[in-house]
Amino acid sequence: MQQDVFRTNCPRDCYDSCGILVEKKTTGLRVMGDPDHPIARGKLCSKCAVAYNGVWQDVSKRLTNPLKRVGPKGEADFREIAWDDALNEIVDQLKPLITERRAESILHTHYSGTLSLIASSFPCRFFNYLGASEIDPDTICNAAGHTAWHLMFGNSVLGLDPRTLADSECILVWGANPSHTAPHTHEMLLEQPAARVVVDPITTKTAATADLHLKLRPGTDAALAFGLLHLLKQYGNFDEAFIESHTLGYERIHETIDRCTPTWTEAITGVSEHDLQRAADLYGAGPSVLWAGQGLQRQARGGNIMRAIGLLPALTGNIGKPGAGISYLNVSPIVAGLDFDWLEGSTLNPDTGKAVSHMEFAQRLGNKNEFKALFVWNTNPMASAPDQSMLRHSLSRDDLFTVVIDCFATDTADYADIILPAASFLEFDDLTYGYFHMLIGAQNKVTDPPGTALPNQEIFRRLAKKLELAEPALLETDESLISNMLNQMDLDMKFSDFQERGHLLLGDSPFIFFDDLKFDTPSGKIEIESELAAKKGGSGVPTPDTDPPINPGQFRLLTPASSHWLNDSYANDPHLLDIAGVPEVFVHPEDAELLELTDGERVELHNETGSIELSCRIDSRTQSGVLLSYKGRWPKLTGGANVNLLHSARMSDLGESTTVHSTLVGLRKAV
Ligand SMILES: Nc1nc2c(c(=O)[nH]1)N[C@H]1C(S)=C(S)[C@@H](COP(=O)(O)OP(=O)(O)OC[C@H]3O[C@@H](n4cnc5c(=O)[nH]c(N)nc54)[C@H](O)[C@@H]3O)O[C@H]1N2
Ligand SMILES: Nc1nc2c(c(=O)[nH]1)N[C@H]1C(S)=C(S)[C@@H](COP(=O)(O)OP(=O)(O)OC[C@H]3O[C@@H](n4cnc5c(=O)[nH]c(N)nc54)[C@H](O)[C@@H]3O)O[C@H]1N2
Ligand SMILES: [Mo]
């Protein structure tokens, strides 16, 4: 390796987990893909290639020093202060709450702004030790699916080693769009010999490049799953011996399966009998893999849908053998044995604070008696969270002490009392990992942070010291954390050697998860029928039920991932904003004709939570009755609001999770 070229790894919340090369030049850093990395293969995706060489290196766009609010909340009127003063201000606010045993009124919200292990997990030690309350992170993203598959398979964080795709006959991608959300993995999918079937209401590039696209009506996934099961049963693809030995509750659903004929299924889902038969043929041939997307379960019945599609591998025995398996997340450090409870300090205090669903965040934050202080780190809820107007209102509370930690001056940061500047992944050492691929990576400090910015972990160590908290776990150094993690994961290597090498792919051959056919459920089997699910208020068994039909004039608004940004990260990069153009909504030609809309005209989307204007793009990639507009725009760069203004914070059937893809809106010409 050249002396001025360093290896590191991308820590974004992305299935790809790419390896990166950074060349240090006098003019700045040149950030590229690592040719020796099995996923990146020498290339960054189009968004990271721009943002890592653009806004992430632009000191004028980065937060460089702590800031204290001097104007009204929301108006972004701040002055620089020294770290010591910023931390003292925070201590002054927290101390009384801690000594009066009211730490529960300190709320923190965080997610996956960076997924590097220390920076995303270590700060939790501080809040766990205090007994502070937490916004349950996964409820903004994938908690319904986790809850559903945990109930069914006993595990939702491992199920498929992508290396086994080479042995598959069929890859069924259900409600994921890797062409946007995992561009390198999508390329790998296209190279597999297997047939690819995609289930998505939108003709995404993933769908358009598949062998078969089932373009169902949104929200009808459970009916489609039962319709496919009907045919798989009829074709003799059910594995009777597997069902008998390894599943629980089949007798409670087989009559339902018999009722879900192709004619019935077509009427409900909009998928033709012919395509249903082809899909059943392809999946039935096996071995087959099921990839359930995270976009899929962001709907009112997302939990039931995940359990319903889980019946496909359960009844055809497509699990626990090469070329088969289920993929929701495949979290490599869990496979390697990392103790996340230790890393996050989950047991540092038996008096845990409250766990609050993201769906209640905006409302409950408005309650003066419940929460007195708020910490926001690794997330930008003013762009990503539901109930946007209410959240803005709650964040405006003068008596709420708010600290925001970010690399950039986000919409959320505009509401802070104190802003703390975070170092980015190029500016500190850490470990990265894959949640699809079996990868662990070394994150390498290649440059100093701008100004006085600090990594998340260092900020919380300093805060613990200032508060004179004696617990050693709160002060553990990065060196110690990294060496403990490498030991726990049996990665027998010095960190400096790991940094040279860049990444490790776990295992010499593909892991076959569930190969012992033991499932960590109460019965030890795949639980089609689940007492726990029934107790959580769901149905004891999955059902083919769908959302009620929508009223005439209403549209279902889908707001999945854009290829231009990563959630709301990068949506402040000027070059990417240029490429992305004006914020648009895709309207099907039939609907456009009915409403007499023309391409490029301003339209208004409205519902009970508010209204926003977008540019109309007439496009048959969507379907009649369904609107598509990508997530991630910064409200302040988009006229003050983004699509989440329309997202009421309704909870899913399982997991108290987001239902963003069940959002209903009206559509009209803007006046
Ligand atoms: N309408 C709609 N809304 C959605 C979704 C949808 O599908 N539709 N999807 C939801 C999903 S799946 C998710 S995961 C959420 C994600 O929503 P967010 O959590 O808001 O998005 P991110 O872009 O991951 O990260 C947020 C922030 O982390 C900051 N950050 C990056 N690195 C660091 C660091 O090292 N330290 C600190 N302190 N900050 C850092 C970034 O600058 C960024 O401002 O959005 C949800 N919102
Ligand atoms: N470029 C980019 N990459 C990302 C992200 C990003 O914002 N941008 N976000 C990251 C994060 S945090 C996450 S969680 C993952 C998510 O990545 P994915 O799992 O791919 O999920 P989404 O892109 O949210 O949605 C996937 C698909 O679900 C479809 N969908 C919506 N409603 C329904 C329905 O009722 N039924 C079915 N079958 N499909 C439906 C949408 O049309 C969309 O094509 O991506 C990660 N990667
Ligand atoms: Mo997510």
CA neighbor of 130 nearest in space, from 456, 343, 354: 354
Cα of 404 from ligand 3 centre, angstroms: 20
Nearest alpha carbon, ligand 1 atom 12:
141
Cα of 237 from ligand 3 centre, angstroms: 34
What are residue 432's phi and psi, to 5 degrees? Answer: -115, 170
Nearest alpha carbon, ligand 2 atom 39:
175
Residue 295 has pLDDT above 90, yes or no: yes
Cα of 39 from ligand 3 centre, angstroms: 20
Give the pLDDT band (50/70/90) at residue 536. Answer: confident
What are residue 330's phi and psi, to 5 degrees? Answer: -130, 90
pLDDT of residue 549: 87
The SS3 call for residue 268 is: helix
Ligand 1 atom with the shortest distance to the CA of 412: 44
Ligand 1 atom with the shortest distance to the CA of 568: 23
The side-by-side arrangement of strands in the sheet containing 195-199 is: 212-214, 195-199, 170-174, 288-292, 325-327
Pocket test for ligand 2, best of 180, 224, 330 (most atoms within 8 A of CB): 180
Question: What value does the mean pLDDT take over residues 338-360?
Answer: 96
Q: Give the tens place of pLDDT for each residue, 205-254.
A: 999 999 999 999 999 999 999 999 999 999 999 999 999 999 999 999 99
**Cβ(207) to ligand 2 under 6 A?**
no
Asked if 568 and 383 touch (Cβ cutoff 8 Å), the reply is: yes
**Cβ(176) to ligand 2 under 6 A?**
yes
Q: If you compute the radius of gyration of the chain from its CA atoms, what whole number of angstroms results?
A: 25
Residue 1 has pLDDT above 80, yes or no: no
496/104 Cα distance (integer angstroms): 40
210/496 Cα distance (integer angstroms): 42
Cα of 498 from ligand 2 centre, angstroms: 32
Q: What does DSSP assign to residue 653?
A: S
pLDDT of residue 537: 74
Residue 39 has pLDDT above 90, yes or no: yes
**Cβ(9) to ligand 1 under 6 A?**
no
Which tokens go with 456?
């998340």
187/386 Cα distance (integer angstroms): 32
Pocket test for ligand 1, best of 114, 384, 420 (most atoms within 8 A of CB): 384
Residues 6+ apart with CB under 8 A from 399: 368, 372
Sign for the CA dihedral angle at 196, 201, 206, 207 comes to positive
Cis peptide before 552 (omega within 30 of 0): no
Q: What does DSSP assign to residue 133?
A: E
pLDDT of residue 538: 75
Cα of 400 from ligand 2 centre, angstroms: 34
What is the full DSSP assignment across 224-250?
Answer: HHHHHHHHHHHTT---HHHHHHHEE-G
pLDDT of residue 290: 98
**Cβ(422) to ligand 1 under 6 A?**
yes
What are residue 325's phi and psi, to 5 degrees? Answer: 135, 175
Give the pLDDT band (50/70/90) at residue 357. Answer: very high
**Cβ(219) to ligand 2 under 6 A?**
yes
**Cβ(112) to ligand 1 under 6 A?**
yes
Scanning the structure block, which residue is given the tokens 């965040």? 361
The SS3 call for residue 403 is: strand
Nearest alpha carbon, ligand 1 atom 44:
380
pLDDT of residue 346: 97
Q: Which pTM does this prediction carry?
A: 0.98
Residue 383 has pLDDT above 90, yes or no: yes
Q: What does DSSP assign to residue 389?
A: H
Cα of 386 from ligand 3 centre, angstroms: 14
CA neighbor of 574 nearest in space, from 424, 378, 408: 408
Nearest alpha carbon, ligand 1 atom 6:
560
Residue 276 has pLDDT above 80, yes or no: yes
pLDDT of residue 161: 97
Q: Nearest 5 degrees, angle CA 526-CA 529-CA 533?
A: 100
Ligand nearest to the CA of 435: 2
Scanning the structure block, which residue is given the tokens 């972004």? 76
257/99 Cα distance (integer angstroms): 59
Cα of 484 from ligand 3 centre, angstroms: 28
Nearest alpha carbon, ligand 1 atom 31:
113
Residues 6+ apart with CB under 8 A from 79: 67, 68, 70
Torsion of CA 247, 253, 254, 257, to 10 degrees: -120
Cα of 141 from ligand 3 centre, angstroms: 4
pLDDT of residue 169: 98
Q: Nearest 5 degrees, angle CA 190-CA 196-CA 197?
A: 140
Strands 401-406, 373-377: pairing is parallel
**Cβ(45) to ligand 2 under 6 A?**
no
Give the pLDDT band (50/70/90) at residue 492. Answer: confident
Ligand nearest to the CA of 629: 1
428/446 Cα distance (integer angstroms): 8
Residue 3 has pLDDT above 80, yes or no: no
Residue 125 has pLDDT above 90, yes or no: yes
What are residue 5's phi and psi, to 5 degrees? Answer: -115, 130
- 554, amino acid identity: Q
Cβ atoms within 10 Å of 205's Cβ, excluding its own: 17
Ligand 1 atom with the shortest distance to the CA of 380: 20
- Give the least confident one: 177-181, 307-311, 350-354, 475-479: 350-354
Mean pLDDT of the chain: 97
CA neighbor of 486 nearest in space, from 495, 474, 496: 495
What is the full DSSP assignment across 302-366?
Answer: HHHHHHHHHHHHHHHT-SSSTT-EEES---HHHHHT--HHHHHTTTS-SS---EEEHHHHHHHHT
**Cβ(384) to ligand 1 under 6 A?**
yes
pLDDT of residue 316: 98
Cα of 381 from ligand 1 centre, angstroms: 7
Q: Give the tens place of pLDDT for each residue, 148-186.
A: 999 999 999 999 999 999 999 999 999 999 999 999 999
Pocket test for ligand 1, best of 379, 395, 585, 661 (most atoms within 8 A of CB): 379
**Cβ(199) to ligand 2 under 6 A?**
yes
Q: Give the tens place of pLDDT for each residue, 450-463.
A: 999 999 999 999 99
pLDDT of residue 567: 98
- Between the CA of residue 438 and those of 178, 186, 330, 489, 519, what are the distances in Å? 17, 16, 7, 12, 21
pLDDT of residue 631: 98
**Cβ(221) to ligand 1 under 6 A?**
no
